[in-house]
Structure 1
Amino acid sequence: MFSKDNLFAVSLFPYLGFLWFLSRSQETPRLALIGFCVLLIFVAVTIPAGIYARVHYGAELANVDWLHGSAESFLTLSNILVALGFRQGIIEYQKRQQESKTND
C-alpha cells in the first residue's frame, strides 16, 4: 500500500503541525523546541544522503556506514538538545516551586 518513502514524506505534515503547536506554547523550553526543529535538518540531510547512497554505491543509506553515521549525527544532536531543553525546563520549574514555597 504505502512504501516507506511515501510514509516518510507524509509523516512530515503531522510533524510540522506538532512544531507549529509546540512553538505557540508558552510552556515549551526554548532549547527543546530548537531540538525538535533540528530534527528537520536530520530529515533534510537524510533524503539527499539516501539518494547519494543509492546512486553512488547502489545501496541503502543504512548500508553505507560513513554516510549513514554522518546523517544520524543530526538525529543525535536533536535528541541531545531536546533532552537538555526539558532538563532545563524541569530545573526552572523546580526553582519556581521552591520560590513560591518560600514566599508563602
Structure 2
Amino acid sequence: MTKENLFALSLFPYLGFLWFLTKSGQTPRLALVGFYVLLIFVVVTIPAGIYAKQVYGQELANVDWLHGSAESFLSLSNILVVLGFRQAVMQRTKPTPDRPADSSADKPSA
C-alpha cells in the first residue's frame, strides 16, 4: 500500500470521528471548528503536493515555501482546538453563585 493510498483511506475514520463529535453536542464549538479546519489542511495539501511534484520535481516536504503554506492550516487547526478546549475548561472552573470556586488547589497535600 502506498502512502498516498493510506492517506486517502485515513480520511474515512476521521470523517467518522467528526460525525460522532458533532453529533454528541459536547465538544466546544471553537474546538469543533478546529477539527473541521484540519480538513482544509488536507484539501490544501493534496494539490500542493501535486504542484510540488510537477513543477519542482520534488516531494512537498522539500519545497519549503509551499510546504510551510500548507502546514499553516495545520497550525491554525491546532490553535483553534486548544483555544476551544481552554475556553471550555475556563468556563467550567469559573465560580458561579451556586458553585464556589474549587479551593482544593489551596490545600496542602499530605
TM > 0.5 fold call: yes
Following superposition, which runs of at least 4 residues in structure 1 exceed 2 angstroms of deviation? 98-102
Compute the displacement of 1:45 (Å).
0.1
Query: CA-atom RMSD, angstroms?
Result: 0.9
- Residue identity in the other structure for 2:8: A
Q: Which has the higher contact order (CA 8 A, sep 6+)?
A: 1
Cα deviation code 1:46-102 (max 9, x no counterpart): 00000000000000000000000000000000000000000001011112xx32424
Compute the displacement of 1:14 (Å).
0.3
Any stretches of 5+ residues in structure 1 without a counterpart?
Answer: none
The residue aligned with 1:101 is 99
Compute the displacement of 1:6 (Å).
0.5
Larger radius of gyration: 2
The structure where helix makes up a greater share of residues is 1
- Residue identity in the other structure for 1:76: S
The residue aligned with 1:6 is 5
Between the two proteins, the alignment pairs up a number of residues equal to: 99
Cα deviation code 1:28-52 (max 9, x no counterpart): 0000000000000000000000000
Cα distance in 1 for partners of 2:4, 2:76 equals: 23
| DSSP 3-state at the match of 2:31 | helix
Structure 1-normalised TM-score?
A: 0.91
